[in-house]
Amino acid sequence: MFAGRLYHKDNTGHSSTLEAGGVQWMTAGRGIVHSEMPEQCEGKLSGIQLWVNLPRAVKMCKPKYSEFTSSKMPEEEREGDVIARVIAGRSSLGTCGPIQGIATNPIFFDTKLPQGGRLLEPIEENMGAFLFIINGNIIVRDDTREIPLRIKSNQLVTLDPGEMLDITAGNDGARMLLIAAKRLDEPITRHGPFVMTTTEEIQQAIDDYNSGGFGHLD
């Protein structure tokens, strides 16, 4: 959540209110039924929701839910007043976020750069990665591009695997998300909220939901 709050309740028995700066992480596994109700604070409401696929072999794992307040997010101060909040994974400087032990080893950095601020961060060869610019603008340089790539607010750019990410903020500075996870290279089939690998698995998920199977999580 960037601004506002979010009321959450699910059939694992968990209910809570997520405040600005907080993060929730659900592993749906073999099924969580949940509800979310956002609410403005001082007329503001914004956030981002990201779905990260699970490997086929663990898609039916036991569901779990975790939640972290803003104060639980470690902040990494880099040269040039660059600040990276490490939400998931481990940065190249060794800072670990509170979200660990996920099958695809995701990294999730919420990064603020002042005007001219520079961020260097490697992307592993087996990772799929992207940048999302929340506000401001950035310039991305790497060995594969003759001309630097300029990205502005509300734009998303995918990154090449094995890339040394070299980012410089423009005149207004920038806030961005750097997100990456292990590439699965597996088929994806989805229907509504269900994401599986085959149409047959999707139908089984729908049958499980309709029969009340999501209420039995043990």
| Domains observed in the chain | 1-72+191-218 (2.60.120.10), 74-186 (2.60.120.10)
pLDDT of residue 145: 65
pLDDT of residue 218: 47
Q: Which two tokens stand for residue 183?
A: 């590439």
pLDDT of residue 212: 77
pLDDT digits (tens, 9 = 90+) for 197-208: 999 999 998 998
Residue 5 in this model has a pLDDT that exceeds 90: yes
Contact present, 3 and 41 (Cβ < 8 Å): yes
**Residues paired with 18 in a beta bridge:** 6
In a 13 Å sphere around the CA of 123, the CA atoms on its Cβ side amount to 25
pLDDT digits (tens, 9 = 90+) for 109-167: 999 999 999 999 998 889 999 999 999 999 988 766 677 888 999 999 998 877 788 99
pLDDT digits (tens, 9 = 90+) for 87-108: 999 999 999 999 998 999 999 9
